[in-house]
Amino acid sequence: MRSIWNGSISFGLVTIPVKTYSATDRTSSVSFVRIHEKDGAQIQYRKICELDGEEVPNEEVGKGYQPPGDDIIVPVSDDELSRLPVPTSKTLTILSFVDPAEIDPLQLDKAYYLGPNGAAATKPYALLREALEHHRKVAIGKVAMRGRESLAMLRAYEGAIVMHALLWPDQIRPAAGVAPEEVQIRENELSLAETLMDSLGELDPTELHDEYREAVEELVAAKLEGEEPVAPAAPRPSARVIDLTAALEKSVRAAREGRTEAAEGEAESASVTPIRGRKAAEKAAAKKTPAKKAAAKKSGTARSTATKSAPAKSTAKSTAKKSTASKTAASKTAATKSAAAKSAAKSAAKKSAGQKSTAKRGTAKKSG
């Protein structure tokens, strides 16, 4: 790697000469060029002077400072900047050592590797690195790089010292008006949210990659081959869940099922490494296996019980039908007997009336 800044670290009365290297690489990200859509030619950006309208070569381009709210631009040369009375122009001055948790991630800016510059710097460099790692602290200081002074944080990382440029506190905007007002959160909702956090498992950094860049590369390759770009699959419409608790429960189930499928995939193919980590997936699979057995056992018992109860239900229905038929027949028989009794009673009454009429006639004849 090529160093981009040479200076030193001031650690009390100890001075450590260092070289600075960029710790990040953004060239792998997608970058587009401007083109003229009519003919596909690339558009060039030229430096044009506002006074004479002519193009200015790079060797004639300098620096100027425009005070806020003023139209005047004051020319400033690199030589004048190098002679500024700033003690941090070539030295990173350590101000204090603090706990890493005291640094707000919002302040973190670009990262750099610091390496010893020369054999004499090796031992004090290693001493500072070991002290940072053993004491579990980070160093806070100030440094001037690339025409500006900024805060810096030093920490130990994989045998090296990393410097993070920090934003000044007044560069962090307040969050006023962003967060919602007081919201009532139920205990079960908070518990489900924490369960979901635990269910997602561990993160495997080796599985993280830029899918957007890969898609762009595939698109460009297809166009170079004269092929039509493959249309992306339409996303599945997701049902809108109004109930937050139901949404959390569904998310927890999906996360656990995903971890179980990942664990099964690992068992079938050793080359597959799930993004959520193997330990978490194995734990989920171990928890789910007894549950599956218990569910299968319950299912078998339920089926057996249903099979046994089916004849019983059939017998009960048959008995009920026979009982109903018997009652109907009995009631018909009773009705028939009652009708016969009434008919006999009527017949006896008629005979009695006839006998009385005959007796009356005989008495009348005798009296005549």
| Residue 324 parent element (H or E) | helix 278-367
Confidence of residue 303 (pLDDT cuts 50, 70, 90): very low
What is the mean predicted confidence (pLDDT) over 6-21?
91
Residue 14: C-alpha distances to residues 6, 117, 159, 162 (Å): 17, 14, 20, 18
Residue 334: C-alpha distances to residues 68, 193, 220, 327 (Å): 116, 74, 98, 11
**At what angle are helices 278-367 and 244-268 packed, to 10 degrees?**
120
Which range among 70-79, 159-168, 173-182 has the greatest average pLDDT? 159-168
Residue 35: predicted pLDDT: 92
Residue 52: predicted pLDDT: 92
Confidence of residue 163 (pLDDT cuts 50, 70, 90): very high
- Is the CB of residue 138 less than 8 Å from the CB of residue 155? yes
What is the mean predicted confidence (pLDDT) over 183-208?
86
Q: At residue 51, what is the residue type?
A: L
Q: What is the pLDDT of residues 254-284, one digit of tens each?
A: 888 876 666 666 555 544 444 444 444 444 4
Q: What is the pLDDT of residues 326-368, one digit of tens each?
A: 444 444 444 444 555 555 555 555 555 444 444 444 443 444 4
Provide φ and ψ at 38, rounded to 5°: -65, -45
Q: Is the pLDDT of residue 64 over 90?
A: yes
Confidence of residue 252 (pLDDT cuts 50, 70, 90): confident
Q: Whole-number mean pLDDT of the chain?
A: 75
Residue 128: predicted pLDDT: 95
Q: Encoding tokens for residue 189?
A: 């909702």
SS3 62: coil
Residue 67: C-alpha distances to residues 72, 73, 215 (Å): 7, 7, 45
Q: Is the pLDDT of residue 318 over 70?
A: no
Residue 171: predicted pLDDT: 92
What is the model's pTM? 0.57
Of 111-120, 187-196, 259-268, 304-313, least confident by mean pLDDT is 304-313
